[in-house]
Amino acid sequence: FDFFMFTTTWAGTFCDHEFGRHCKHVMGLRNLTIHGLWPNYDSGKYPQFCDKRKFDPDKVSDLQDRLNAEWPDLLSKGGLWSHEFEKHGTCSASVLPTEHDYFGAALSLNERLDLTSALFRAGIQPSSTQAYPTKDIVKAVKSVIGDDVDPELNCADGNLQEIRVCFTKTFQARNCDS
């Protein structure tokens, strides 16, 4: 793979548009949460399910509290961490060889970026009634990733669903398109 795509999501939009009735609405959740850390190719494609390793929660037991807070499993049937590791984490092994490395890297990026705080500082908060110009969201994200890097915004029915920021294999911010 050529780079990582770090994806965060607004839980409300994610649940309303992506998974609907299969989603747990976490009351009071106002922060962006981690959706995933995905290896990608410059071609726009991405590897998936690269080996047969299965998610083992014991290997990340020391990260459990942070995972619950920053990467909550929004799916009512559970299994988000398992899905993310087996689909994407197994393909990250050349850079992040263990399950612990994979989840630890995502948590570190989340802490380093703190996109929720960047948005709040810009006056942008989750709302079903207030719309925000895309340029304001991009400006807030660029305040933490740098002006020379463009984030990707994924919206659903005019609502912000995800913010994606791409990184080199050494975790320097970069544009997602090569």
pLDDT per position as a tens digit, 90-145:
999 999 999 999 999 999 999 999 999 999 999 998 877 888 999 999 999 999 99
Q: What is the pTM of this model?
A: 0.91
Contact 178, 13 (CB under 8 A): no
CATH number for the domain running over 3-174: 3.90.730.10
Res 18: pLDDT: 59
3-state secondary structure (DSSP) of residue 102: helix
pLDDT beyond 80 at 20: no
Give the span between the Cα atoms of 22 and 77, in whole angstroms.
7
Which of the residues are catalytic?
35, 84, 88
Task: List the alpha helices (DSSP H) in 88-177.
Answer: 99-113, 115-121, 134-145
Give the span between the Cα atoms of 98 and 165, in whole angstroms.
22
pLDDT beyond 90 at 163: yes
pLDDT beyond 90 at 11: no
Name which residue leads in pLDDT, 145 or 76: 145
